[in-house]
A and B are shown apart, each in its own frame.
Chain A
Amino acid sequence: MDLLQTIVAHYNHWIIIFLMVSGLYIVVARGNMIKKLVGLGLFQTSVYLLYLSPGKILGGTPPILSPQFSVYSNPLPHVLILTAIVVGVATLALGLALVVRINEAFGTIEEDEIFAGEEDE
């Protein structure tokens, strides 16, 4: 019963781990370069949740000093994750730009086909 409670109480972690692992799996298992980037995005997004979910305290307010409030949520994770989102967007943009160039240079974005073509040379 205790075990079950621990599992349920940490449901946010289970969601995070599920997203994380499925993102990584897509990166590893797919040969299509766009799909790989989608997986990478999923993987990065799971980390945003990893930061954000412990920052929330039930009943906590934003950190505004006032006698009425005594429990505050931590705003710092949000700031950090804003930065991380920007980094993620930049990475995705660069990745997609590379895929466009690869498509122009090789005529395909399937890794198998590209490597098969390279071996013929």
Chain B
Amino acid sequence: MIAANLPALQVVLPLLGAVLCAFLQRGVWAWGIALVVSVAMPFVAAGLLIQVLDGGIISYAMGGWEPPIGIEYRIDVVNAFLLLLVSVIGAVIMPYAKRSVEKEIAPEHQPWFYAIYLLCLCGLLGIVITGDAFNVFVFMEVSSLATYALIAMGRDRRALLAAYQYLIMGTIGATFYVIGVGLLYSMTGTLNLADMANRLEGIENSRAVLAALAFLTVGISLKLALFPLHVWLPNAYTYAPSMATAFLAATATKVAVYLLLRYFFTVFGASIIFTRLPVAEIFLILSLAAMFGASIVAVFQDNVKRMLAYSSVAQIGYITLGIAIANKTGLTGGIVHLFNHALIKGALFMAIGAVFYQIGSVKLDDLAGLGKRMPITMGAFVMAGLSIIGVPGTVGFVSKWYLGLGAFEQGWWWLVFLLVASSLISVVYIGRIVEVVWFRPVSAAAKRAKEPPLSMLLPTLLLVAATVYFGFDTSLTAGIAERAAEWLLAGIR
């Protein structure tokens, strides 16, 4: 009974949890509910992944209405993998959230904070699990509206501006998405993504379909912060509460990338995307611009959170580079990096959140000498930083290895040099932090700092340990990513 209804539980549980949280008065109780729900999610997702790896695609008719008329939840290797990623991050971050939220959010707002967090989780999981184009839009708006509110809860008054800016850009992105879906719907008469893919056969070249593709690509790219549509991201990540930043940086953009993969490979098919249109070239150029442009901007930031936010834009470049390379190895690299970057950025932002918890600042100068006061936290930060750079033995290396191999297979040997060169820039900005933290005299702000409470330290260390573990044992991550890539490319007509 439960096994058959896992797809529904994945979305309904957080939704119910959010409603419950909103009725509670005390932050601790709301935290308890959010904890229970978030910890249950990875088990649901793991159950789904096991089912998919054993028996192929799961098709779940929501409410008993058979697809393609009803809303179908359709789970294959790609989105089962994503579901697991998002729910694991959501679970790991919850123990961490308690102390961080107590410090940064006013007591009367805490239940709301957890309610909104669960709504955001529900939306993100919903986008991934559903197989219905319009349902994606609904979940996209559930998660986006929740995200705007999460960002606006930041302490700094500029958090409000960041949330407003993101609301404008995010709504434009979502509306572009709806326009694309509307055009596809008027061409095919269906909203079911699998059905849509079949019915697009033969009319791929009509102008309405191409216009739909353009609207979808731009709309989703806004959500995933593809350079140059990333302008909302640095402010949003800088001023959001620490816990929200860690969660969003690890999940939100990844889910948007998944959506892009879904449309490019499953709905339109790689043949129209890559052989008839110059999508690969456009993504190649934009990815490279992100990898270099955003990395260089990151070097000159004095606020560590903002530095990491720009680094996120650069890392998204690596993921979309995998799409641009578009052979099996390259795509595997992109999908692996999706997973790896979620771990790395989650760990980095959690470490910085712990720093903020202790010294109340994330300015680079205030972090001076912190390595002597918080050696474990800063050690974790450096380990995750090495992963961003792509040092062998960390997950960052695994993704870049696959991307490099994919580029070679494609005959783009020059791309390998560019990969190395952009990694060198990340050495500079991570190096700047390492230098300040370990080799400078202790700053006034850091004088009385000590290690954060265990509830914050352990989740951070867990993610850092995962970045090292999956750097050596790639059978789970790269293995599944390879199957996912194979599956996506097999969708080519």
Q: Which residues of A contact B (CB under 8 A)?
A: 20, 24, 27, 33, 36, 40, 43-44, 47, 50-51, 54, 77, 80, 83-84, 87, 90-91, 94-95, 98-99, 101-102, 105-106, 114, 118
Contacts and interface: CB of A to CB of B under 8 A. Distances in A.
Interface string B130-154: 0000100110010001001100100
A40 B178 contact: no
Nearest to A44: B175
Interface stretch (B162-170, B421-429, B443-451, B461-469): B162-170
Nearest to B149: A94
Given A90-B141, A94-B167, 14 more contacts: A36-B168, A40-B168, A44-B171, A47-B175, A50-B183, A80-B134, A80-B191, A83-B138, A84-B178, A91-B145, A94-B145, A94-B148, A105-B160, A114-B161
A84 B183 CA distance: 15
Given A87-B138, A105-B157, A95 B178 contact: no
A36 B149 CA distance: 19
Nearest to A109: B164
Interface in B150-201: 152, 157-158, 160-161, 163-164, 167-168, 171-172, 175, 178-179, 182-183, 185-186, 191
A116 B182 CA distance: 40
Interface of B: 134, 137-138, 141, 145, 148-149, 152, 157-158, 160-161, 163-164, 167-168, 171-172, 175, 178-179, 182-183, 185-186, 191
Contacts of B141: 87, 90-91
A91 B167 contact: yes
Nearest to A98: B164
B175 A98 contact: no
Q: Say what secondary structure dominates the interface of chain A.
A: helix
A20 B414 CA distance: 42
A95 B152 CA distance: 11
A98 B152 contact: yes
Contacts of B182: 47, 50-51
B157 A106 contact: yes
Contacts of B167: 91, 94-95, 98
Contacts of A84: 137, 178
B172 A99 contact: no
A95 B172 CA distance: 13
A100 B191 CA distance: 38
Q: Say what secondary structure dominates the interface of chain B.
A: helix
A40 B152 CA distance: 19
A27 B186 contact: no
Contact of B160 (A36, A50, A77, A101): A101
Contacts of A51: 182, 185
B164 A95 contact: yes
Contacts of B145: 90-91, 94
A47 B161 contact: no
A-B pairs with the 5 shortest C-beta distances? A105-B157, A87-B141, A54-B186, A98-B164, A102-B160
A98 B145 CA distance: 12
Contacts of B157: 105-106
Q: Which of B137, B168, B191 has the most chain A CB atoms inside 10 A of its CB?
A: B168
Contacts of A105: 157, 160
Given A24-B172, A101-B160, A47 B152 contact: no
B160 A40 contact: no
Contacts of A47: 175, 178-179, 182
A40 B168 CA distance: 7
Given A98-B160, A102-B164, A118-B158, A91 B179 contact: no
A59 B134 CA distance: 28
28 contacts: A20-B179, A36-B168, A40-B171, A40-B172, A43-B172, A43-B175, A44-B171, A47-B175, A47-B179, A50-B179, A50-B183, A80-B134, A83-B138, A84-B178, A87-B141, A90-B145, A91-B141, A94-B145, A94-B167, A95-B164, A95-B168, A98-B152, A98-B163, A99-B164, A102-B161, A105-B160, A106-B157, A114-B161
Contacts of A118: 158
A4 B197 CA distance: 34
